[in-house]
Amino acid sequence: MSPASSKSVSEKKIAIHTKITKVGVPRIDSPLTFSNFMSDDPYPFFLDNEFLGGVDSKPQKLSFELAGPRKKIYFDPPKTRCAIVTCGGLCPGINDVIRSIVMEAVHGYKVASVLGIRYGLQGFIPKYKHEVIELTPDKVSHIHQFGGTMLGSSRGPQSPEEVADALERLNVSCLFMIGGDGTLKAASVISREALRRGMRLSVIGVPKTIDNDINFISQSFGFETAVDKASEAIRCAHTEALGAPCGIGVVKLMGRESGFIAAHATLSIKEANFVLIPETRFSLRGKGGLLPALEARLKSRGHAVIVVAEGAGQHIMQETCQTDASGNPILADISSYLIQEIKQYFAELQMNVTLKYIDPSYMIRSVPANADDRVYCGLLGQNAVHAAMAGRTEMVVAKLMERYVHLPLSLVTAHRKKLNIASSYWRSVLESTGQQETLAGMLPAGLCTDMDE
The DSSP symbol for 332 reads P
Question: For residues 423 and 417, what is the distance between their CA atoms, to the nearest angstrom?
Answer: 14
Domains 21-220+369-412 and 224-362+420-445 agree in fold: yes
- For residue 63, the surrounding DSSP H or E stretch is strand 60-64
**Which is nearest to 404 in space by CA: 62, 93, 64?**
64
Task: List % helix, strand, coil for the chain (3-state, nearest 5).
Answer: 40, 20, 40
Residues acting as catalytic residues = 211
Q: What is the pLDDT of residues 358-392, one digit of tens each?
A: 999 999 999 999 999 999 999 999 999 999 999 99
Is the domain defined by 224-362+420-445 classed in CATH 3.20.19.10?
no
Supply the pLDDT for residue 9.
44
Q: What is the pLDDT of residues 211-256, one digit of tens each?
A: 999 998 989 999 999 999 999 999 999 999 999 999 999 999 999 9
Supply the pLDDT for residue 352.
97
**Which is nearest to 444 in space by CA: 26, 3, 18, 54?**
54
Over range 31-55, report the average pLDDT.
82
Residue 453, pLDDT above cutoff 50: no
Residue 327, pLDDT above cutoff 90: no
Q: What is the pLDDT of residues 123-168, one digit of tens each?
A: 999 999 999 999 999 999 999 999 999 999 999 899 999 999 999 9
Supply the pLDDT for residue 451.
36
pTM of the model: 0.91
Q: Kindly state the percentage of the chain with pLDDT values over 70.
A: 90
**Out of 201-210, 265-274, 314-323, 398-407, least confident range:** 314-323
Rg of the chain over Cα atoms, rounded to whole angstroms, equals 24
Q: What is the pLDDT of residues 273-320, one digit of tens each?
A: 999 999 999 999 998 899 999 999 999 999 999 999 999 999 898 766
Supply the pLDDT for residue 60.
85
**Out of 13-22, 394-403, 407-416, 441-450, least confident range:** 441-450
Q: What is the pLDDT of residues 247-274, one digit of tens each?
A: 999 999 999 999 999 999 999 999 999 9
* Angle, helices 371-389/94-103, rounded to nearest 10 degrees: 40
List of residues 6+ apart from 386 with CB closer than 8 A: 38, 67, 68, 69, 70, 104
Supply the pLDDT for residue 17.
85
Question: For residues 31 and 421, what is the distance between their CA atoms, to the nearest angstrom?
Answer: 48
Q: How far is CA 339 from CA 335, 342, 344, 345, 358, in A?
A: 6, 5, 9, 10, 11
Inter-residue contact 333 to 339 (CB < 8 Å): no
Is the domain defined by 21-220+369-412 classed in CATH 3.40.50.450?
yes
Q: Is 202 helix (H, G, I), strand (E, B) or coil?
A: strand
Give the model's confidence band at 445: pLDDT under 50 very low, under 70 low, under 90 confident, else very high: low
Q: Kindly state the percentage of the chain with pLDDT values over 90.
A: 79
Q: CA 336: distance to chain centroid?
A: 25
The domain segmentation of the chain, as residue ranges, is 21-220+369-412, 224-362+420-445
